[in-house]
Structure formats: structure tokens, C-alpha cells
Amino acid sequence: MFENISENIERAFKVLKGQGKITEINVAETIKEIRKALLDADVNYKVAKTFTDTIKEKAMGQNVLTSLSPSQLLIKITHDELTELMGGQMTEINIKANPAIILMSGLQGSGKTTLSGKLANYLKTKKGKSPLLVACDVYRPAAINQLTVLGEQIGVPVYSEIENKNPVEIAKNAIKKAKENGYNVIIIDTAGRLAVDEQMMNEIVAIKEAINPSEILFVVDAMTGQDAVNTAKTFNERLNFDGVVLTKLDGDTRGGAALSIKSVVNKPIKFVGTGEKLDALDVFYPERMADRILGMGDIVSLVEKAQGLYTEEEAKKLNKKMSKGQMDYDDFLQQINQIKKMGNIKDMMSMIPGIGKQLKDVDISEDKFKGPLAIIQSMTPDERSLKVVLNGRRKERIAKGSGTTVMEVNKTIKAFEEMTKQFKMMSNPGAMKNMQRMAKRR
């Protein structure tokens, strides 16, 4: 995510770091490189120019030339402006009404139907809502079936009318059904087209006027760059939507849509899709995204993702084991499975400050877990609970049973021992205080 722009901006700051003396000329050169980085990322030209002009103006106004750490000050100014460029603050989805009606809009292929399922799952699991999905795409043959399958996977009902080809009627009937059955959020998936056309726009405007939604979301593929921004502008002129959802952001190495869309349509990005799984939907935090673009990581989001995997009781139990150094291979197995649930491993690791650029050319996939998982699952209950020592004979049996080698078994054992050691260190009160102090400095 944002790999290219992060590299280019980092290169821009090296213009300052490599100079013995900071001058107005090399500050200007740095800002020129930042503008080039934005344009290479497919950011709208006017947006890029205004952004860099603002940075230059603020930099000169804060006496960067006489600052003790001019490069750091310029990075801070750039960080603050990136945050503002993407919206400034996180903007909540409006679900105050009962029922709250959310109308989904966007082109075909933007991931709108899948996003509807992800949003329903988010509102159900994170906000305690009782959602109803509504299939109003009456043109794409597989659309109703796709939404139905998604609903079954997350345990959310789907309202559809197979014979009815009038999406306005379907939407109105669904709202009536939701009120009768106590659903407090209604998510209406509408038809998309391969390109913006008058018929599509008229239809979705008619749905909007008939149901008076509390929230209209525009769903767009982040990887389409400036095309995404231009489409958003067209939709907004007709629908006056409330917020943007960027899908496929995990595959977007440039970031042009995320950096341009707020300035062009003056509507906030509310969510981003970061993977194929139904829980791969994140609330959009401009400041955290600015952190990641500038290589500062995103520890807060990483911790939130990790916390979401455990109940309070599970967390207490694990913490107790960690503090006493009593973790076994069953705990190790649980940790591996929980990490897999968090999404793209490389993306998760990039949230740790300084790690992202080190992983640029490293292949980190879920396949890497297959060996260790098979090895642990090939152990006996006594071996997993550390009641017996894993001698050479046992290692050979485990390797044979898991389809691996003794060398791979030894690697897994070493990884387990290292994890146990690290967790024991982290549970040390002194170490925890140091980590808290570091977090406060951020």
C-alpha cells in the first residue's frame, strides 16, 4: 500500500539530509521532488501543486532554514498537510436513525456488492447493529446470488425479489420489511455499470428520492487512480453522497485516489477495503495513513486489529501464561492462526515503524505458515504441552508426519523458543513502562 509514493517522498527528504547547509534552494528542491512524487502517484495536478505550495509557504514561515532539525520540521509540516489533504479527521458513518438506511453507489467492478457484505459484517460485529442487506441490482444475473452468499457467510439476512425488476419498489418493500422485523440498519446494494451513463444515474437518483437514505456511500476501486476521482465527481454532482469507500487499497502502490479524492469532491473517505476477506474493511484515519506514507508505521491500527481477535478472558489467560513463561505449542498454534486472521501479513508488518521499506522485496505469504502449522499439528498432546523433550527420534517422526524435514522442525522449535522469550520480556513491568513512554513520545 502506497509503496511507490513512500519511496519517492523519502528520496525527496534525502535532498535535505545530504546537505551540510540548509538553504532556500535545497528546500525548494525537496518540495519539487515531493510534487513529482505526488504526480507519479497519479495525484491530481492541481491538488499536488496546491499541496506543495502550502508546504513551501509554511516551511518558510516557520524558519526551516534556521531550525536545528530542518529536515524533521519539513517532514512534520508534510505529515500535517498530508493528513489535511486526506480529510483531517476520521469521519463516522451516520447510523443514528432507526432504521439507518445506507445506499451504496458506484461503477460495476468497483467491489460494491462485496463491500456491502463487509459493511454489514462491520456494523454487526463492531457496532452491535442488526443489519439487513437488500439486493437492488436487477440487471447483473449473479448479483443477487452473490449478496445472498455473502449474507450467509456473515449471518446477515438478504432481502430480494427475484421477479421484480423495479429497484425503487424493492428498496421500499425492504424498508417496510426491516421495520416490521426490527432490523436497525438497511444496506441497499444498487446496480453498477461499466461506465457512467444517464440511465444508471437516473435510476439511483430515483432510489435516493424514494427512500431518503441517512447515508450514501460511493464505492470506488482505489487502483483506478484519477479515473476514480473523476467518477466520484460525476456521481457526487448527481447524488451528493456523504462519503467515499476505497476498495482494493491493499493493491494500490501509488495512492493517487486516496490523496486526491477529498480535495476534488470535498467528501471524506470513510472506509478502505484492505483485502478479500469479509473482515478486511478498515475505518479511514487520515493521520494514521499519513504516518504510513512517511514510513512512520501505524502501531495504533495494528494493536486495534490484534485486540479485536481476543475476548477479554482470552487476553487475560494469555497474558498470565506470557508473564510466567508457560506458553506451549498449542498457544503458538493459536498465535499463528490469529496472525493469519489479521489479513495480509506484509501489510500488517509494514505498520511497524521502520519495517515497511525493509520488506519491499521480501515475499511474505500465508504459505509460509503451512510448514509450522503442519509440524505443530503432527505433535502428540504431550509434545505440544512440553511434557516431553523433543529428541531426535521424535523430531524425525514429526517431520515425516508433517511432510517437512528435521531442519524445518528445528526452525519451528527455535521460532517458538524465541517467541516465548520475547513475550516474557514484554510482560516485564519495566519493559512495558519503556514501551508506554515511547508511545507517548509519538
Closest CA to 106 of 244, 267, 225, 219: 219
- Answer yes or no: is pLDDT of 184 > 70: yes
Task: Please tell me whether residues 322 and 203 are part of one structural domain.
Answer: no
Kindly state whether residues 281 and 240 are assigned to the same domain.
yes
Q: Tell me which of 144 and 429 has the higher pLDDT.
A: 144
For residue 393, give its domain range.
302-441
Give the pairing type, strands 281-283 and 269-273.
antiparallel
In this predicted structure, what is the pLDDT of residue 432? 43
pTM over the 0.75 mark: no
> Among 50, 85, 120, which residue terminates a domain?
85
Give a yes or no: residue 53 inside a domain: yes
State the total domains in the chain.
Answer: 3
Any domain includes 30? yes
What pLDDT shows up at residue 401?
93
Query: Hey, what long-range contacts does 433-441 have (CB within 8 A, 24 or more apart)?
Result: 439/299
DSSP string, 275-303: SSSTT-EEE--HHHHHHHHTT---HHHHH
pLDDT attached to residue 427: 53
Q: Which of 261, 295, 329 is the last residue of a domain?
A: 295
pLDDT tens digit string along 334-385?
777 766 666 555 565 555 444 445 444 445 555 667 888 899 999 999 999 8
Domain of 46, CATH number, reads 1.20.120.140
251 with 343, same domain: the answer is no
Q: The domain that contains 142 carries what CATH number?
A: 3.40.50.300
Same domain, 313 and 175: no
220 in the same domain as 186: yes
Question: 64 near 28, Cβ under 8 Å?
Answer: no
pLDDT band at 153 (very low <50, low <70, confident <90, very high): very high
95: in domain: no
- Is the pLDDT at 438 greater than 60, yes or no? no
CA 5, CA 51: separation in Å to the nearest integer?
15
Do 276 and 369 share a domain, yes or no?
Answer: no
Which pLDDT belongs to residue 123?
93
Non-local CB neighbours of 141 within 8 Å, separated by 6+ positions? none
Same domain assignment for residues 264 and 313 = no
pLDDT beyond 70 at 108: yes
The answer as to whether 90 is a domain residue is: no
Q: Cβ–Cβ contacts within 10 Å for residue 378, how many?
A: 17
Rounded distance between C-alpha atoms, residue 290 and residue 84, angstroms: 9
Band (188; pLDDT cuts 50, 70, 90): very high
Per-residue pLDDT, averaged over 180-204, amounts to 85
Q: Is the pLDDT of residue 396 over 90?
A: yes
The predicted-structure confidence for 219-228, as pLDDT tens digits, reads as follows 888 777 677 7
In a shared domain, residues 377 and 398: yes
Residue 411 lies in a domain: yes
Asked, for residue 92, whether it belongs to a domain, the answer is: no
Residue whose C-alpha cell reads 512495558 in the numeric block: 432
Poorest-pLDDT segment among 25-29, 409-413, 433-437 = 433-437
Cα angle: 398, vertex 404, 409; to 5 degrees? 55
Q: Are 255 and 130 contained in the same domain?
A: yes
Same domain, 244 and 306: no
CATH of the domain at 437: 1.10.260.30
**Does residue 287 sit in the same domain as residue 325?**
no
Q: How far apart are CA 31 and CA 13, in angstroms?
A: 9
Q: Per the domain annotation, does 94 fall within a domain?
A: no
Is a pLDDT exceeding 90 seen at residue 7? no
Q: Report the percentage of the chain scoring pLDDT > 90.
A: 25
Same domain, residue pair 306 and 277: no
Asked whether residue 137 is domain-assigned, the answer is: yes
Find which of 16-30, 100-114, 188-202 is predicted with most confidence, using mean pLDDT: 100-114
Residue 87, pLDDT above cutoff 80: yes
Final residue of a structural domain among 85, 110, 142:
85
CB neighbour list of residue 162: distance below 8 Å, 6 or more residues apart: 144
Contact 3, 361 (CB under 8 A): no
- Examine the pLDDT at 426 and tell me if it is beyond 80: no
The per-residue pLDDT of the chain, averaged, comes to 78
